[in-house]
């Protein structure tokens, strides 16, 4: 662009601005010079109160809201401000007005302002454009005189006398009662209509008609406007709703993606950071409560490993504080660290003083003092609160100190080690910080372990020759050593009641002795091919744990002398030390792999001792979970109290010669049915459980066994299967009520409403039967490729679960007879038993692979690791009525109970475990940005 063109455009722009300014000023002047239809002249406070209302009524009278007033009214009280130029402004209003409306009243008659306004009007306008409105007093026209009556016209301004040639138009203000009747008010609408009629020159009736037309037009316009506004509002609302829906969907997708990420991370961290794994799983559930996130919570809750404390050096020792809140660990770097037992985070500064690796740590009874021993031959006492060393180090040995132990009252400390500078056992006065007497033991002994009895009267030491008991007061030996047959003792521990002492050896065995008689308590607990490095009793003394050189930990049942479940595995190096938490729920293990691992002792593990049912037995558990009945091939039945694990009463002789008798409990657990062969026929007998008396007999009439019995849930019917048919019996009359030809099956299940029967078929499907009409009503689709070994309905009756020798469990819809989702796979051999949990959310299965597995019904995926403990095929599994315990039995002739509390309410289980550690700060540390913080636990639980 050339400079000339630029100047031309600039000049044009200036002209446009000038035109716009001129046009705006012109419009403003036109607006300012608009005239008034009427000028209201008045005087007195009475008229001043209601005339502004009159002004508004006249100006708004039946006009469209979008148009200016038909009549503008000048009122000095509203349109003109008081000031020195008042008259000039009033005069200007008079000059632009068409009518002068005089509010006639005694006050106006006496007002100089009203008189002046009338004078101006008579001088500059015609008297015919004056309208009189009587607001007070009266006006009287004298026809004879042709003028106002001066005596009677008390409202007439004097200057208007003699001015009218004939009687003018005038109006008197009517008064009406207020709604509450308390006061008389001017009829403003009537006055406004009268003034508007005169000013516009229209009869009042026409003006009213016009008002009605305007009102209708206004209403019509208002309706149209309302419709338009409504449509606009609807469009705006729709757009807003769409935006909100889109935003909500975007948020949902983001939260779902974050939850999926948390689920994957939880699975990955299960053995690396169990605390983080549990928090992430719970956060995923709170963010996106789907079946997948619920399964993640389940897996986190049942995972036996509950924590991992990472070190940079191998860990030689671990100990719990007496209150269970703190864990102390000593590493090969000579540093002692404290950890929060719940969050698995380091607490405060470490204890630094040893110049070689830590071999042993022990808390004093109150938890305020910690003792540490190291390969540097020293023992140090630490104040746990301020992290400072208490006094000088004890220097009992020139070589390594292997173990230390406080007496229960905290007054004495015992240290054991090698023999470089004398005997290996020394006792110390903790308060005086000095050695008590001379060293104990032999110079030739290499003492590796020490432990005080719970009452503090004795302590035990373990060396290369066995276990020696000592009197703590006299410091003398108590009897001879409890020999381990030349096997070096690596660890010793007293049971909670002090009656038993356990010693672990390099040969992999753990031996128990009675402390009173110093005689062996049963045979050694052996684990071949590995050394036992540490041993410890649970607080209740029911089990002990042994840690081994291969990095595994095995729990052992003391009364039954048998392992409890499968070994705990996770360490990649030998376990040097271990300790139970004071409540017995957690086991801490210190490993050569530079980690301390925390294990949930009760998660999915066998609870209490097993029940030995004997050879060739067929167990059955009562529906209330209290009684176990086991029928033997010799025609006898024995009963056990499940909770107490003890046999109750004598055997029940039900006769018969069947090698595989069949038994079933009634729904109310009061009646037991037994099926067995009696000579040339098979019979089903009914027994009262409490009294062991026979209460009925169903003569089956067959010469072969009855492989299956099933009570209907309503307790009215018993179904029996034999010779290819299924028979139904009335339990009140003990008579047969019908038969289902072709329904004979070793597997029978009633639906929860007792209306439908399910039986397995030879072609690996399930047939459904109407229990009332005895007719076949359907069959599941093909799926299994081998015999079905168990059939069960879900508690709500909508699903059927089948277990098969093809290693799978399948779920079927009762309504459609179609398979629901993919089969449940994981067992390594045929599945023999299956049962639903009471709430229908979980399944338990038993298999020929000797394992028990838990399954989440919603996702059809396994929960946690398999439960291992049976040494033969698991032939039966059921949940107790509360769903917190699984009862299993198998070919090893043992009935085992497994604690599965966490599967009932995994969220509550995790929150109880966290003890308030799942805080908002933890959320921010473990959850990716995006989803807002949500409390992970109820107020009463945590967070």
812-854 pLDDT, tens per residue? 999 999 999 999 999 999 999 999 999 999 999 999 999 999 9
The reported pLDDT for the residue numbered 527 is 80
pLDDT at residue 11, rounded to an integer = 46
Under 8 Å between Cβ of 562 and 556: yes
Residue 7 is predicted with a pLDDT of 40
Residue that wins the pLDDT comparison between 302 and 206: 302
Q: Round to whole Å and give the CA distance between 79 and 57.
A: 16
- Give the pLDDT confidence of 327-379 residue by residue, as tens digits: 999 999 999 999 999 888 899 999 999 989 999 999 999 999 999 998 888 99
Q: Which helix (H) or strand (E) holds 811?
A: strand 808-813
Among the listed residues 374, 373, 498, the one whose alpha carbon sits nearest the alpha carbon of residue 428 = 373
- Average pLDDT of span 103-121: 90
Q: Give the torsion through C-alpha atoms of 84, 87, 92, 98, to 10 deg.
A: 150
Say whether pLDDT at 446 is over 70: yes
Q: How far apart are CA 374 and CA 355, in angstroms?
A: 8
Considering only 643-652, 692-701, 754-763, 802-811, which range has the smallest mean pLDDT? 692-701
Winning range, highest mean pLDDT, from 227-236, 246-255, 561-570, 695-704: 246-255
pLDDT at 407: 96
Which range (77-81, 500-504, 927-931) has the least confidence? 77-81
Give 114 or 185, the one with higher predicted confidence.
Answer: 114
What is the distance in angstroms between the CA of the first residue and the CA of the last residue of the chain?
71
* Local structure of 44: helix, strand or coil: coil
Write the Ramachandran bin of 941: left for phi over 0, alpha for psi from -120 to 50, otherwise beta: alpha
* Choice among 231-235, 572-576, 775-779, 889-893 with the minimum mean pLDDT: 231-235
pLDDT at 801: 97
Asked whether the predicted pLDDT for residue 500 surpasses 60, the reply is yes
The yes-or-no verdict on residue 255 having pLDDT over 80 is yes
User: Can you list the alpha helix ranges (DSSP code H) found in 96-203?
Assistant: 106-109, 112-124, 188-200
- The residue that leads in pLDDT, 798 or 204, is 798
Chain mean pLDDT for the chain: 86
Cβ–Cβ < 8 Å for 122, 109: no
User: Alpha helix (H) ranges present in 96-155?
Assistant: 106-109, 112-124
Which helix H or strand E contains 300, and what residues bound it?
A: helix 291-302
Asked whether residue 33 carries a pLDDT value surpassing 60, the answer given is no
Mean pLDDT of 396-423: 81
Q: Is 609 helix (H, G, I), strand (E, B) or coil?
A: coil
Q: Are 398 and 445 in contact (CB under 8 A)?
A: no
pLDDT attached to residue 150? 86
Q: Would the pLDDT of 78 be above 80? A: no
Cα–Cα distance between 286 and 273 in angstroms, integer?
A: 20
The pLDDT value given to residue 324: 94
**Is the predicted pLDDT of residue 231 greater than 70, yes or no?**
yes
Instruction: Band the pLDDT of 325: cuts 50, 70, 90.
Output: very high
The predicted-structure confidence for 136-177, as pLDDT tens digits, reads as follows 889 898 888 888 888 888 889 989 888 888 888 788 887 766
Helix (H, G, I), strand (E, B) or coil at 237: helix
Band the pLDDT of 400: cuts 50, 70, 90: confident
Q: What is the pLDDT of residue 819?
A: 96
What's the confidence (pLDDT) of residue 210? 66
- More confident of the two residues 240 and 474: 474
**What pLDDT is attached to residue 28?**
38
The set of residues, in sequence order, having a beta carbon less than 8 Å from that of 247 and lying 6+ positions away, is none
User: What pLDDT was estimated at residue 29?
Assistant: 40
pLDDT beyond 70 at 715: yes
Residue 887 banded pLDDT, cuts 50, 70, 90: very high
Q: How far apart are CA 252 and CA 365, in angstroms?
A: 53
> 126-135: per-residue pLDDT in tens?
888 898 999 8
As a whole number, mean pLDDT of residues 764-788 equals: 93
Taking alpha carbons only, the member of 840, 896, 855 closest to residue 872 is 896
Tell me what the mean pLDDT of segment 6-13 comes to: 42
- What is the Cα–Cα distance from 66 to 646, expressed in whole angstroms? 96
Which of 26-30, 369-373, 405-409 is least confident?
A: 26-30
3-state DSSP percent of the chain in helix, strand and coil, to 5: 20, 35, 40
**Site of tokens 């022990």:** 362
d(CA 91, CA 190): 28
pLDDT grade for 667, boundaries at 50, 70 and 90:
very high
Identify the pLDDT of residue 679.
57
Are residues 441 and 425 in contact, defined by beta-carbon separation less than 8 angstroms? yes
pLDDT of residue 492 exceeding 90: yes
Residue 528 pLDDT > 80: no
Checking 207-215 for CB contacts under 8 A at 24+ apart, the result is: 210/62, 211/61, 211/62, 212/62, 213/62, 214/62, 214/63, 214/64, 215/62
Of 77 and 248, the one with more pLDDT: 248
pTM higher than the cut 0.75: no
pLDDT band at 19 (very low <50, low <70, confident <90, very high): very low
pLDDT of residue 604: 62
* pLDDT beyond 50 at 27: no
Most confident listed range (92-96, 685-689, 849-853): 849-853
According to the model, what pLDDT value does residue 706 have?
Answer: 77
Q: Indicate if the pLDDT at residue 504 is higher than 50.
A: yes
pLDDT tens for each residue of 589-603: 999 999 999 998 877
Give the confidence band of 421 by pLDDT, cuts at 50, 70, 90.
low
As a whole number of angstroms, the distance between CA 722 and CA 231 comes to 75
User: CA 614, CA 58: separation in Å to the nearest integer?
Assistant: 110
Q: Is the pLDDT of residue 284 over 80?
A: yes
Q: Count CA atoms closer than 13 A to 103's CA, side-chain side.
A: 27
């Amino acid at each position: 662009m050339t400079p000339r063109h630029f100047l031309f455009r600039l000049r044009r722009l200036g002209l446009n601005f000038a035109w716009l300014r001129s046009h705006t000023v012109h419009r403003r002047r036109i607006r300012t010079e608009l005239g008034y239809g009427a000028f209201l002249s008045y005087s007195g406070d009475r008229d001043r109160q209601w005339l502004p209302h009159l002004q508004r009524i006249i100006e708004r009278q039946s006009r469209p809201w979008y148009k200016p007033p038909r009549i503008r009214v000048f009122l000095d009280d509203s349109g003109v401000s008081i000031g020195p130029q008042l008259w000039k402004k009033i005069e200007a209003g008079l000059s632009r007005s068409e009518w002068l409306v005089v509010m006639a009243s005694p006050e106006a008659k006496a007002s100089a302002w009203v008189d002046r306004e009338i004078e101006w009007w008579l001088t500059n306008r015609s008297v015919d454009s004056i309208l009189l409105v009587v607001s007070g007093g009266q006006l009287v026209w004298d026809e004879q005189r042709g003028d106002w009556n001066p005596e009677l016209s008390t409202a007439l301004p004097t200057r208007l006398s003699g001015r009218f040639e004939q009687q003018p138009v005038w109006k008197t203000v009517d008064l009406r009662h207020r709604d509450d009747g308390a006061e008389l008010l001017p009829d403003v609408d009537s006055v406004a209509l009268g003034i508007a009629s005169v000013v516009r020159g229209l009869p009042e009736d026409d003006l009213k008609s016009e008002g009605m037309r305007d009102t209708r037009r206004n209403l019509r316009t208002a309706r149209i406007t309302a419709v338009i506004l409504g449509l606009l509002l609807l469009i705006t609302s729709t757009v807003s709703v769409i935006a909100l829906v889109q935003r909500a969907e975007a948020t949902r997708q983001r939260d779902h993606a974050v939850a999926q990420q948390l689920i994957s991370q939880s699975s990955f961290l299960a053995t690396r950071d169990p605390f983080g794994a549990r928090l992430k799983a719970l956060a995923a559930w709170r963010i996106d409560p789907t079946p997948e996130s619920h399964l993640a919570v389940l897996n986190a809750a049942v995972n036996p490993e509950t924590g991992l404390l990472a070190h940079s050096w191998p860990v030689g020792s671990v100990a719990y504080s007496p209150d269970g809140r703190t864990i102390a660990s000593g590493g090969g770097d000579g540093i002692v660290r404290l950890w929060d037992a719940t969050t698995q985070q380091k607490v405060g500064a470490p204890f630094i003083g040893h110049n070689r690796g830590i071999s042993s740590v022990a808390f004093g009874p109150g938890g305020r003092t910690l003792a540490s021993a190291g390969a540097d031959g020293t023992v140090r006492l630490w104040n746990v609160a301020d992290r400072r060393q208490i006094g000088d180090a004890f220097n009992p040995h020139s070589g390594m100190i292997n173990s230390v132990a406080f007496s229960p009252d905290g007054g004495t400390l015992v240290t054991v080690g090698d023999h470089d500078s004398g005997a290996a056992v020394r006792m110390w006065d903790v308060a005086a910080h000095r050695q008590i007497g001379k060293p104990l033991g032999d110079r030739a002994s290499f003492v590796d372990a020490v432990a005080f009895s719970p009452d503090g009267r004795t302590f035990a030491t373990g060396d290369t020759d066995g276990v020696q008991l000592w009197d703590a007061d006299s410091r003398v030996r108590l009897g001879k050593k409890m020999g381990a047959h030349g096997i070096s003792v690596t660890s010793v521990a007293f049971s909670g009641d002090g009656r038993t002492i356990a010693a672990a050896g390099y040969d992999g065995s753990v031996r128990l002795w009675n402390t009173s008689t110093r005689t062996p308590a049963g045979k050694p607990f052996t684990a071949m091919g590995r050394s036992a490095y540490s041993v410890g009793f649970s607080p209740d003394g029911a089990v002990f744990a042994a840690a081994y050189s291969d990095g595994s930990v095995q729990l052992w049942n003391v009364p039954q002398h048998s392992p409890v479940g499968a070994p705990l595995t996770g360490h990649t190096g030998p376990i040097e030390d271990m300790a139970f938490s004071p409540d017995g729920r957690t086991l801490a293990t210190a490993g050569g792999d530079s980690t301390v691992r925390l294990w949930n002792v009760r998660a999915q593990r066998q609870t209490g001792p097993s029940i030995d049912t004997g050879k060739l037995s067929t167990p059955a558990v009562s529906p209330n979970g209290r009684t176990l009945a086991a029928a033997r091939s010799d025609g006898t039945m024995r009963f056990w109290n499940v909770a107490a694990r003890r046999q109750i009463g004598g055997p029940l002789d039900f006769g018969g010669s069947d090698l595989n008798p069949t038994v079933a409990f009634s729904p109310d657990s009061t009646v037991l049915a037994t099926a067995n062969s009696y000579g040339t026929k098979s019979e089903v007998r009914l027994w009262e459980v409490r009294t062991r008396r026979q209460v009925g007999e169903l003569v089956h009439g067959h010469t072969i066994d009855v492989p299956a019995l099933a009570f209907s849930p309503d307790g009215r019917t018993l179904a029996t299967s034999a010779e290819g048919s299924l028979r139904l019996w009335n339990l009140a009359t003990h008579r047969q009520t019908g038969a289902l030809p072709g329904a004979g099956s070793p597997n029978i299940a009633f639906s929860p409403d007792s209306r439908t029967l399910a039986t397995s078929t030879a072609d690996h499907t399930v047939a459904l039967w109407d229990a009332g009409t005895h007719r076949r009503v359907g069959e599941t689709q093909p799926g299994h490729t081998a015999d079905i070994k168990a059939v069960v309905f879900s508690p709500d009756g909508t699903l059927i679960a089948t277990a098969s020798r093809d290693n799978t469990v399948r779920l079927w819809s009762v309504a459609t007879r179609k398979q629901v989702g993919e089969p449940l796979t994981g067992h390594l051999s045929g599945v023999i038993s299956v049962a639903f949990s009471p709430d229908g959310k979980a399944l338990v299965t038993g298999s020929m692979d000797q394992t028990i597995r838990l399954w989440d019904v919603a996702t059809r995926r396994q929960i946690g690791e398999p439960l291992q403990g049976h040494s033969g095929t698991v032939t039966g599994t059921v949940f107790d009525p509360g769903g917190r315990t699984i009862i299993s039995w198998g070919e090893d002739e043992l009935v085992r109970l497994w604690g599965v509390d966490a599967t009932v309410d995994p969220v509550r289980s995790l929150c109880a475990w966290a003890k308030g550690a799942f805080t908002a700060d933890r959320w921010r540390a473990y959850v990716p940005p995006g989803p807002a913080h949500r409390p992970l636990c109820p107020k009463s639980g945590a967070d």
